[in-house]
Structure formats: structure tokens, C-alpha cells
Structure 1
């Protein structure tokens, strides 16, 4: 429509001088309509559009030689060089140069030299200029596309290298866990089971009345050791399988849940009683539905905090609280501070479990930070002589 309107303006302003002499209106408008129709398909059918334009301009030039159709034809040449097939682009380059040279030679022979040179320059401007402009833009687009493809290929190769390195490291970690930690857990489970089986084979430990002492603290401790070692071994095996696979953690993974916090505390009560610790819990009647990542984080923080209490806290009361709000989950574990002058439990000198490397606190802090939470641990300012571990975890969609 723009080309058609422009040609009408040229016809109105220039009249016969612009549109090719004294010709009927339909003869001036018809080529313009055909060329405008071809322009509508210049990007999807460049070959057909340029052929229609060439035939139309040739006939119109033989009849009247108006300027309007030639201007539209230059756009068809540009579009054919830009959107056409590579062979069409090359053909237009050679064809326009050949047509320009032929027109220049013809006008040099039929007219004077200055007229031939001027005509050749005009033909070159109308034919060669739009084609080579389209070629330059086409080359720039092809180069940009090639650079984008090269960048995408480099990114794919980098991602493959990253996955290969990650899988190699995961395989190495799985091998170390299986060969070192899992073997030790297996040994603990086997030996504790053997002691319990041996005790049962001898009728159990006799009390003063001659009966089996079912409340023997040694047997209870062995049972707890066996239960924890078997559970830890099962989790270790699942972790080894996960590390050796190339998938992420999915819903099939047996994740700890908030509802299992009560069972976790009950499991720690025998060891706490042996350490003269009393465990008190303050949990809500029901936990809200939260993401699995938050559940795992909360469970592991409570688990590690209880382990630290069993290793380091002095005799006394341990309070485990869990409060749920609209947007956050607050976990706190409060315990007595360990007094170096009065050891809470007998420990062997140099025992690595009692020395503590700070990895537990660092791990809890990392878990809370990864889900966008806040973690702090240290002496409780509101209760002197107490140690508090506190974590605030978000419950929103961004956690």
C-alpha cells in the first residue's frame, strides 16, 4: 500500500513526465498494482516476486518507461538478494552487473559517450545497488547466525564437560562412601547383632531372681546401636545408588519428613538417658504441607543438634521446639552448656567424636542458607548456662 500510494503521489505531482508520457490512467496504475502485489510476497516467494517484477518492468519500460514501477522493482531486487536461495543471490549479482554493462554498451553505440556513461550509472544505481545492499545485509545476518550457533555449540560442549566432571566426582564419592563409611557401618551392625544373638542364645542376662533382665542398659544400648547402624547403612546405600546414577533426587527418594521428628527424638532417648539428659519436645499437633527440601533441612538440623547435645551437653534438660507460622518454620534446640571442669560423661582422650571440628554447625548453617533461611547457634543470652541452636526456614514458594 505504501508503494502504491507513493506512485499515485508521483503521478499526481509529476503527471506524464514521471509516469511515462501521455498514457491512460489504467496503463500507469496497472503495472504498479502488479508490482505491489509481488511486493507482498517478496520475503516468502522471492524468486516468483522478482520474476514477476522483471517481466512487468520490462513491458512497462517498452511501453512508457515510468519511474514509479522501477522504484518498486528495486525493492524486489533487494528482497530477492536478502531472502532468496544462495543460488538466486549469486545469479542476481552476476545478472545485474551483466545487464548494467549491456545497457551501457548499447547506449554508447546508439548515443554519445556522455549519455552512455550517464545511463550506465543510472542503471547501476537502480539494479546493482539494491542487490549488493541485500547481499551485504544477508552476509551480516548469516555471520551473526553462525556466531550464535557457535556460541550455542560451545555452551552445549561446556555443559557436557560439566556433567562429565560432576558425574565423575559423584562416582568417586559413591565409591569412597561404599568402601569406607558403609563398611564401618556394616561392621557395627554385624557385631552388635552378634552380641545380641549370643546373649539370647545363653538365655539372656540373669537378674538377681534368676530371670532374664529385659531392662539391662547394656542390651538396650546394643539394640540402639544396631538399629541406628542398620538405618544408617540403608540410607548410605540409597545415597550410593543416587550418586552413581545421573538423575537428581526425585519423589521416589525416601526423604525424612517433619512428622518423623517425634520418632527421631524417641530414638535418641536411650542415649540421652545414659548421658543424664532429659528430652522435652514442643511440636504442633500437625505440620503444614511444605516442600520436601524444607522437610529434609528441618529434619537434618534437628538430628545434628541432638547429636551435638549427646556429645557435648552437660547433664540436664534438652528442649526441642518447632513452631510453624504462615510464612516460616522455626526450629530451636536448647541444651545445657558443657562445663569443662565437670565433664558430663566419661570420654577417652583424643576421641575425635568429642573433639568436634565444627563441621556439624557449618553443615546446619549451609542447609539453612541454601533454602533461604537463617541459622544461629551459641550461648542463650536469655538463659545463662544454656546453648541454643535456632533455624528459621521459609515456607513460601521461593524456598
Structure 2
């Protein structure tokens, strides 16, 4: 989250506005392009004071907009009394806009109402005081430098707040969707774990019962049947474990491939069975009755591999 700026550290764009307005106002003053003569015999150079004060208020348009508008109002009053410079009036309009856009929510609601009230008072007061319909032009000019920028700032602020609310709602929706997905994955994994436990426990229970029977009974036929049941339950339990472990790997997004049994481990499996069976007087032998067939791809010689796939590119 970005840190808020200090009022004594203006935004870069505000510095450009202030310096640009100051330079334009100095040019207009040098060319003696002022809208009206000074009132009450005030010296014309006071409009320069108002210009400098207004340019300084522009530096506060983002960091302290309400303070900047207060200073600008005083500077505008001084500018009107000492001969109006257009640049000073334009900078005041910009500060009204900035106070609505960047100010507090209370200021954003209050400033447009104040602009309506000030415009109405100036228009009615001028009409009553001078009894001239030209006062309507003064009211229109007042509305242009107060109501119009206040409206503009309020509209842009409303759109920004709506966009921010929509962005927050989208982030909240995405977060809820992610939480739902994680809960669904966790529930599915828990269901698979229960299923794995139930099936493997059933197979292991059957193996334990029939192995006990095979050890306690002296009937070779019953022992053979019990060993057959033990083998069947062992194979089924192993198959179920492999299936569910594969599903759990897919659900967790594990990129590591599952272990696939190959014939390369057959000799190791046979040696392990011989060691385990030696304690019980059992022996194991492997009888491969398969005919001579084509060699597996991993055992084929390079020249045989090229002969089987003539279109394959030759190694260089």
C-alpha cells in the first residue's frame, strides 16, 4: 500500500500546474491583459500577489485539497479586487475540481452545494444591487468557475469509486472461488483417504484371517485355498492402492510420475521372495515359457533399432 504524501511534498503534476499557471499569469501581467481595473483604488501589483498565492495553492491540490481551496478562495478575492487575471481564475477552477475529486467524502458532498449557493447569492445580489440583467452574465461566469468543475470532479470521483468497488468485488469473488476449490479438493482427498483405508483394511483383514487359518490347519487343500485367497486380496489391495494414489497425485497437481512396474525388477522381486520364504522352508523358481520374441526397445541394439524404424534420423 503506497504511503500518503506529506502536504509539504507536492505531487509532480501539481508542481507542473503551479509553475505553468505562474508563468502564464506573469506573461498576461507583463502584457497588461487584465479583465477589469482594480477596485477601491488598490494597486494593480496585488494581482501578482494573488497569482503567486494561487500558484502555491496548486501545489496542495492532491495532498491537501481542502486547505488549497481555502487559500485559493482568499487569493481569488484579492485578484478580483486588484484586476482579474484569467490564469488565476482558471487555477481556482482547477482547485475546486481537485477538492471534489481528491478531498474527503464529506467535502465532495459539501463543495458542490456551496458552489450552487455562492452562484445563486452572487446572481441575486447583483440583480438587486445594480438592477441590470447583465448580472446574469456574472452569475453564468461564477457557475463556470465553480459549479462546472465541481460537477466534473463529482462525476469522475463517482466513476472511480464504482470502478474500485467492482475491482474489490471481483477480487472477493475470485478469493471465494479459490476457497471453494480448495475445500472441494480437500474433501475429495479426504474421501479418497477414507476409501483407501476401508478397502485396504478389508483386504488386510482377509489376509490376516486366512493366513492364520493356513498356519493353524494341517489340511494341504485348505492351506492352498487360504493362500489363494491371500494372494487375491494382496493383488486387489495393491491395485486399489495404486489407483487411489494415482488419483491423489492428479488431484494435487504433482508432476512426479507414479511408479510403473517393469520386468527389470523381476529378478529383485524373486530374490526377495526367496529370502522371505527361506525362513518358512519355501523356495521359488522362475520358469519363463515365452517364446523367443523381438527384443524390447530398451534392449535392442542400435542397428536393430534403425532397422525397425528406417525413417528415423540417424545419429550423428
Normalising by the smaller structure, the TM-score range is: 0.5 to 0.7
What is residue 129 of structure 1 aligned with on the other side? 148
Moved more, 82-91 or 58-67: 58-67
Is contact 1:42–1:79 with CA below 8 Å preserved after alignment?
yes
What is residue 98 of structure 1 aligned with on the other side? 117
Of 17, 28, 31 in structure 2, the residue corresponding to residue 10 of structure 1 is: 28
What is residue 61 of structure 2 aligned with on the other side? 42
Of 63, 84, 91 in structure 2, the residue corresponding to residue 72 of structure 1 is: 91
Q: Secondary structure at the match of 1:54?
A: helix
**1:355-394 residue CA offsets vs partner (Å, 9 max, x unmatched):** xxxxxxxxxxxxxxxxxxxxxxxxx99559xxxxxxxxxx
**1:297-345 residue CA offsets vs partner (Å, 9 max, x unmatched):** xxxxxxxxxxxxxxxxx4558977xxxxxxxxxxx6569xxxxxxxxxx
Q: Unaligned regions of 5+ residues in structure 1, if any?
A: 203-217, 278-313, 321-331, 336-379, 385-399
Q: Secondary structure at the match of 2:133?
A: helix
In the superposition, relative to structure 1, how do residues 274 and 90 fare at CA in structure 2: closer, same or farther (>3 Å)?
Answer: same
**1:164-211 residue CA offsets vs partner (Å, 9 max, x unmatched):** 2222222222222221245325644x3786599x49xx9xxxxxxxxx
In the superposition, relative to structure 1, how do residues 383 and 135 fare at CA in structure 2: closer, same or farther (>3 Å)?
Answer: same
**1:108-162 residue CA offsets vs partner (Å, 9 max, x unmatched):** 0122442111111110111100001000000111111111112222222222222
What is residue 145 of structure 1 aligned with on the other side? 164
Q: Secondary structure at the match of 1:274?
A: coil
Deviation at 1:10, TM superposition (A): 2.6
Structure number with the higher strand fraction is 1
**1:88-123 residue CA offsets vs partner (Å, 9 max, x unmatched):** 011101100000000001110122442111111110
State yes or no: 1:276 paired with 2:288: yes
For residues 153 and 35 of structure 2, what CA distance do their matches in structure 1 show?
27
Query: How much is the aligned-residue C-alpha RMSD, in angstroms?
Result: 4.7
Q: Unaligned regions of 5+ residues in structure 2, if any?
A: 1-18, 219-223, 274-283, 310-316
Structure number with the higher helix fraction is 2
**1:249-306 residue CA offsets vs partner (Å, 9 max, x unmatched):** 89xx9x9899x999945444569973618xxxxxxxxxxxxxxxxxxxxxxxxxxxxx
Using CA pairs under 8 Å that are at least 6 residues apart, name the structure with larger relative contact order, 1 or 2: 2
TM-score normalised to structure 1 length: 0.52
For residues 182 and 62 of structure 1, what CA distance do their matches in structure 2 show?
97
Q: How many residues align?
A: 262
Is contact 1:78–1:130 with CA below 8 Å preserved after alignment?
yes
1:110-259 matches, cutoff 5 A: 110-184=129-203, 187-188=206-207, 190=208, 198=215
TM-score normalised to structure 2 length: 0.64
Is contact 2:93–2:145 with CA below 8 Å preserved after alignment?
yes
